[in-house]
Amino acid sequence: MRFRSTLIFIISAALVAAAFAEDTPAKKRVAVLDFDNAAVSTTSIGVVGTNITYGTNLGKTAADLLVNRLVQDGGCSVIERTALDKLLSEQDFSNSNRADPVTAAKLGRILGVDAIILGSITRYDYNDKMRGRHAYPVVGVTAPKYDVSASVQISARIVSSETAEVLAVAQAAGDSAHKGVKGSNTEYMATMMGGSQGGALGETAHEALDKAVANLAAQVEQNLAKVPARQNSVDGVVAGIEASGNLVLNVGVQRGLKVGDHLQVWRIGKVISDPDTGKVLVHDDTLIGEAILTSVNDISSIATYTGSQPVKEGDHVRSAQHASSTAN
């Protein structure tokens, strides 16, 4: 009797867990590009014989802070910054192009994310008032004390990777002020670079930016619920076949793949088109087997293969939904 009760309890618990898993939506997958710095004053000054541009690092700092917030909160999955920077370099997108929703959507499709987050620094005010008669700090001279204040306004757009549509917009602001701050020459230079390098003076600017990003992150996470989950459509190629029989594929993490994913393997056939319009009517391809990913890096993967025919280099691998759409 006790065994039966225990078995019923285990089965009930499993059913409840399965139902909960079905009702729990998968995390949205996003990428955050460096924020646009266009609205930030970038006048150059001379400090200790060196020209320093005011605010140059602010956009990157804002993006890094937003990524950190989103990862810590755990409401979405965020593409690693190094992987994103590598892709941007490989695709040779200019800074101006990256802010365009159409270009952002293209990047999103390559990365296999649901949305791209584009941001802008819309206002950045930094003020420091020296106490007493002092010049700006120079090497070998003790830095004066300052009354420091900073105010930052930022905005973000959530862009669909599928349609390039701007699905939501978020705006936030942050302020910070400190009195009697003593800053060294190095810290003063860091402040003039946008506060991203820290230091006693830079901390005030950094605090203002961090507050703004914290407010922005909360809005972004709330708006991500509006983003439709992207169907990860993959169409890759068998680039090589190892001696073991494993397949080397030319698609990887950047296409949203992970270890354990199943892909269909297709032998490419004749494309039949309408002779009047030229529109493709049928892809006469043949499904020959299945590939299961065992190892995945940014741009490639290794997979085991089972199928009705031996696989060849040049055969295509496709996700099921993509295969069904191309087969018609």
Per-residue pLDDT, averaged over 107-128, amounts to 85
β strands within the chain, DSSP E: 28-32, 44-47, 50-53, 76-78, 115-130, 145-160, 166-182, 235-241, 247-249, 262-273, 280-296, 301-307, 316-318
Is residue 93 one of the residues assigned to a domain?
A: yes
Give the CA dihedral 129, 132, 136, 140, nearest 10 degrees. -140
Helix (H, G, I), strand (E, B) or coil at 320: helix
Q: 208, 226, 244: which is the final residue of a domain? A: 226
Instruction: Mark whether 141 and 203 lie in a shared domain.
Output: yes
Domain range for residue 109? 26-226
Instruction: Mark whether 205 and 246 lie in a shared domain.
Output: no
Determine the pLDDT at residue 298: 81
Distance CA 177, CA 207 (A): 9
* DSSP tag of 36: B
Specify the higher pLDDT residue, 258 or 278.
Answer: 258
Cα–Cα distances (Å) from 275 to 268, 278, 280, 281, 282, in that order, read 21, 6, 9, 10, 13
With bands split at pLDDT 50, 70 and 90, how would you rate the model's confidence at 109?
Answer: confident
- pTM of this structure: 0.61
Per-residue pLDDT, averaged over 22-35, amounts to 75
Is 50 exceeded by the pLDDT of residue 240?
Answer: yes
SS (H, E, C) 284-319: EEEEEEEEEEEEECCCCEEEEEEECCCCCCCCEEEC
Of the chain, the percentage scoring pLDDT greater than 70 comes to: 69
Instruction: Mark whether 241 and 185 lie in a shared domain.
Output: no
Tell me which of 37-41, 124-128, 270-274, 323-327 is least confident.
Answer: 323-327
Is 60 exceeded by the pLDDT of residue 102?
Answer: yes
Is residue 109 one of the residues assigned to a domain?
A: yes
Is residue 2 one of the residues assigned to a domain?
A: no
Is 70 exceeded by the pLDDT of residue 194?
Answer: no
Determine the pLDDT at residue 310: 93
Pair 216, 245: CB distance under 8 Å? no
3-state DSSP helix/strand/coil percent for the chain, to nearest 5?
35, 35, 30
Is 70 exceeded by the pLDDT of residue 92?
Answer: no
Is residue 20 one of the residues assigned to a domain?
A: no
Q: Most confidently modeled of 25-29, 140-144, 304-308?
A: 304-308
Pair 148, 216: CB distance under 8 Å? no
Is 90 exceeded by the pLDDT of residue 322?
Answer: no
Is residue 316 one of the residues assigned to a domain?
A: yes
Per-residue pLDDT, averaged over 87-94, amounts to 67
Of the chain, the percentage scoring pLDDT greater than 90 comes to: 31
Is 70 exceeded by the pLDDT of residue 125?
Answer: yes
Instruction: Mark whether 135 and 270 lie in a shared domain.
Output: no
Instruction: Mark whether 147 and 242 lie in a shared domain.
Output: no
Instruction: Specify the number of domains making up the chain.
Output: 2
With bands split at pLDDT 50, 70 and 90, how would you rate the model's confidence at 82?
Answer: confident
User: Angle CA(265)–CA(231)–CA(75) in degrees, nearest 5?
Assistant: 130
Look up the CATH number of the domain holding residue 169.
3.40.50.10610
Determine the pLDDT at residue 55: 55
Distance CA 230, CA 236 (A): 18
Give 165-184 pLDDT, tens digit per residue: 899 999 999 999 988 777 65
Is 60 exceeded by the pLDDT of residue 5?
Answer: no
Instruction: Mark whether 137 and 195 lie in a shared domain.
Output: yes
Instruction: Mark whether 239 and 203 lie in a shared domain.
Output: no
Is 80 exceeded by the pLDDT of residue 207?
Answer: yes
Is 80 exceeded by the pLDDT of residue 303?
Answer: yes
Pair 115, 98: CB distance under 8 Å? no
Determine the pLDDT at residue 158: 94
Instruction: Mark whether 146 and 31 lie in a shared domain.
Output: yes
Is residue 253 one of the residues assigned to a domain?
A: yes
Is residue 240 one of the residues assigned to a domain?
A: yes
Pair 264, 288: CB distance under 8 Å? no
Instruction: Mark whether 188 and 308 lie in a shared domain.
Output: no
Instruction: Mark whether 215 and 239 lie in a shared domain.
Output: no
Q: 226, 260, 281: which is the final residue of a domain? A: 226
Determine the pLDDT at residue 187: 54
Distance CA 111, CA 105 (A): 10
Instruction: Mark whether 244 and 219 lie in a shared domain.
Output: no
Determine the pLDDT at residue 52: 36
Cα–Cα distances (Å) from 71 to 34, 76, 198, 221, 304, in that order, read 16, 7, 22, 11, 33
Is 50 exceeded by the pLDDT of residue 219?
Answer: yes
Q: Report helix angle 199-223 to 185-192, nearest 10.
A: 30
Instruction: Mark whether 241 and 319 lie in a shared domain.
Output: yes
Is 80 exceeded by the pLDDT of residue 133?
Answer: no
Determine the pLDDT at residue 232: 62
Determine the pLDDT at residue 119: 92
Look up the CATH number of the domain holding residue 299.
2.40.10.410
- Mean pLDDT (the chain, rounded): 76
Pair 109, 234: CB distance under 8 Å? no
Per-residue pLDDT, averaged over 126-136, amounts to 65
**Exposure string over 224-249, b if 16+ CB within 10 A, otherwise e:** beebeebebbbbbebeebeeeebbbb
User: Angle CA(195)–CA(159)–CA(152) in degrees, nearest 5?
Assistant: 25
Is 70 exceeded by the pLDDT of residue 142?
Answer: no
Pair 138, 175: CB distance under 8 Å? no
Cα atoms found within 13 Å of the Cα of residue 321, Cβ hemisphere only: 5
Distance CA 40, CA 120 (A): 9
Is residue 188 one of the residues assigned to a domain?
A: yes
Is 90 exceeded by the pLDDT of residue 135?
Answer: no
Tell me which of 42-46, 207-211, 264-268 is least confident.
Answer: 42-46
Q: 194, 226, 258: which is the final residue of a domain? A: 226
